[in-house]
A and B are shown apart, each in its own frame.
Chain A
Amino acid sequence: MMSLIELESVSKTFGKHVAVDKLSLSVPKGSVYGFIGPNGSGKTTTLRMIMNILPPDSGKIMVFGEQLKSTSCDRIGYMPEERGLYKRMKVRELLIFMGGLKNAENLKSNVDQWLERLELSDWANKKVETLSKGMSQKVQFIATVVAEPQLIILDEPFTGLDPVNTEVIKDAILDLQSRGTTVVFSTHDMSMAEKMCDFIFMIFKGNKVLDGTLNNIQDKYANDTIRIRSGNGTAVFKDLKGVEKINDYGRLQELRIADDADPHAILREIINRTRIESFDIVKPSLHDIFVRIAGSEAEEVNNE
């Protein structure tokens, strides 16, 4: 599969802090590529380097099969994590302006179509300052995609959105992918990454720690997790031999099993202690993998 983005041994430091360290990755054309990693791990710095906003200290960045240059950005839609809009501009006027900066064609009809699709047509001639936060984020998303870019880069696109708007944006992203657009997005929402991404890339302390499809990543881990629903909380699992860690999700608990432990023996012990509604012996979830790599630092992120 042809790569739309190629990073070769890219590094970036700020003073003495190494933000990205000899990072290499390849984003296949037409894929949804998820960037995960705890705060401060180098996700945003990497995305900014791909957007030519920050120059790398060393390494090579290829986009659309050629060395990154300023005109490459015309074919890339970028929605940064910290985003703002000109508050005194009207929504439609702003979107046409933003699309114009990408030298886009068919702007007016594209703007109208997107406004209609995201149910913002009634707000087209209102000033941005009158919009709610959710509406502003939808306008921001339209500004990113209205120029019909071949590649869109979204830094935390779902942050701050309610479930309905999350669904709307998710559908829009998948629709763009179905029309051939390559999507790179960073997220802290592991379940969203699991469901949406063809490829997942994890960066931690500036280094690549995961890269591949979800199955490829999970294949590196054994069936070391018992997902169990007992209805009696975690008390019944107290002092279970061979269990390294218990994740309590209320009605569901995940037990991570030690390498040398027998999951069947552990299950028998649990059955002796309580009545089980359901159980499954599975590979760890992306969330669990993330936590295993990033440790307590990542726990904090996911609890935000």
Chain B
Amino acid sequence: MNKIIRFTIREYMAAVKTKGFIIGLVIAPVMMSGGFLAFLLLKDRVDTTDKKIAVIDHTGVVVEALIDAAENRNKNEIFDEESGQKVKPAYFIEVIKPTSSDTMQQHLELSDRVRNGELHAFMVIGSDVIHPGEDKLGDDISYYGKNAAMDDVRRWTGWPIYNHLRKLRLADAGIEESQVPELFQWIDVSGLGLVSVDESTGDIEDAREASPIEALVVPIAFMMLMFIMIMFSVPAMLNSVMEEKTQRIAEVMLGSITPFEFMSAKLLSGIAVSLTSSAVYVFGGLFVLTSLSLQGYIPFFVLPWFFVYMILAVMMFGAMSASLGATCSEPKDAQSLSFPMILPALIPMFIYFPIAKEPLSSFSTWMSLIPPFTPMLMTLRMATPDSIPLWQPIVGLLGVILFTIIFVWAGGRIFRVAILMQGTPPKFANIIKWAIRG
């Protein structure tokens, strides 16, 4: 045990004393939050070039509303109130008369004007949009542009057109809008959690407002953190063992420690590295959320599960990583093994969204009970506001423990055979043979 501890300390210090570790510790969260930060920093950096939109209005009465809305917007919304600087593009509406002959030809000509940059887009308002119905052909509004799906102008046109159509319909029905101002008042449906009893006072507590932070951001952050921890330590183990083998350090070490002690120390140092990094992130995250008075969103009960699952995940993947590292005689071998080795940790990354959205579905339950996926997916599910039945994390934990034992056992056998073997490429059949026969 003394030897394992000594070797573990050496491995741990060798890992954490490097510039790469310290830089990685800082860079990983920056990269994770980089997209969000970039969005915040760049959200006001919009294209202020004016945009002209051609409109073919088959009703003849809707386009006026767009013209008025555009003029109003150009006057009141596109300049910064304090500096007077233009911060948004102005919109201009060009009215095009509908053709009675070749509609497609007209649309083609307008499309060419868009391609030439003369127009930003063009719009066709159907003849029956005021009183649409199943038997009517012209009850739609079409927007043609280079990138219509993401076009801000398209989104902007919706409200003025809808508002004007509403007025026209009320007028046709002989109702004045001022008589029924609340007729179209939109009432939002608020998302709330569940009402509960405060255990300390016995009082009934009102439910807290549901938040996307609680529903998605926190669970995904937990899962991402575990993924980063696995990526932080597991591939490093493969490279470290391979280096010790190729640099002929392994046999020197085996003169003092057994292969079991060798691999155990590698695993323990991997766990120690992961715990160090995760502790920095978890406690850093708790500090930030508490400082922002957002501690209510932290599922504290998940933290012990997170650490237990993370330790087992590092052991499970680490055992295979160290043993596969022992089969490599050159960096090329390690490169070819890296992807299959991290694949079990990557799969949860592909399927996390439906699981975070519906953590109680059969798909979510079964996927999170597959041992290599359990640490990441069960933590994700548990961190959602839904209540996961307790038996599931317990069964998941037992499965992971069983798999970890199998992986460590098989990894130890592969490691013992392969660590002194030179020049034998790591073929899948050999690896299986060594795992079974030892």
Contact = CB atoms under 8 A, between A and B. Distances in A.
Interface stretch (A48-56, A208-216, A233-241): A48-56
A114 B255 CA distance: 20
Given A53-B251, A82-B251, A87-B247, A101 B6 contact: yes
Given A83-B248, A84-B247, A86-B14, A51 B3 contact: no
Interface string A51-92: 111100000000000000010011011111011111111000
Given A100-B6, A101-B6, A103-B2, A86 B255 contact: no
B10 interface: yes
Contact of A73 (B249, B256, B420): B256
Contacts of B14: 86, 88-89
Nearest to B17: A88
A51 B420 CA distance: 13
Contacts, number: 60
B350 to A, nearest CB: 37
Interface residues of A, number: 29
B272 to A, nearest CB: 17
A80 B254 CA distance: 10
Given A48-B420, A53-B420, A73 B248 contact: no
B317 interface: no
A98 interface: yes
Interface string B198-227: 000000000000000000000000000000
B257 interface: yes
Contacts of A221: none
Interface residues of B, number: 19
Nearest to A78: B255
A143 interface: yes
B256 A102 contact: yes
A80 B256 contact: no
B6 A53 contact: no
A51 B255 contact: yes
B290 interface: no
Contact of A82 (B3, B7, B248, B257): B248
Contacts of A80: 248, 251-252, 255
Contacts of B254: 51, 53
A283 B393 CA distance: 79
Contacts of B258: 52, 70
Contacts of A88: 14
Given A83-B248, A87-B247, A97-B10, A76 B255 contact: yes
Given A53-B254, A54-B420, A85-B252, 7 more contacts: A48-B251, A76-B255, A78-B255, A79-B252, A83-B251, A84-B248, A101-B256
Interface of A: 48, 51-54, 70, 73-74, 76-80, 82-89, 97-98, 100-103, 140, 143
Query: What 10 A-B pairs come out closest when comparing CB atoms?
Result: A78-B255, A84-B248, A101-B256, A84-B249, A82-B248, A84-B247, A80-B251, A53-B254, A70-B258, A100-B6
Interface of B: 2-3, 6-7, 10, 14, 244, 247-249, 251-258, 420
22 contacts: A48-B251, A48-B420, A51-B254, A53-B254, A54-B420, A73-B256, A76-B255, A79-B252, A79-B255, A83-B248, A83-B251, A84-B244, A84-B248, A85-B249, A86-B14, A88-B14, A89-B10, A97-B10, A101-B253, A101-B256, A101-B257, A103-B3
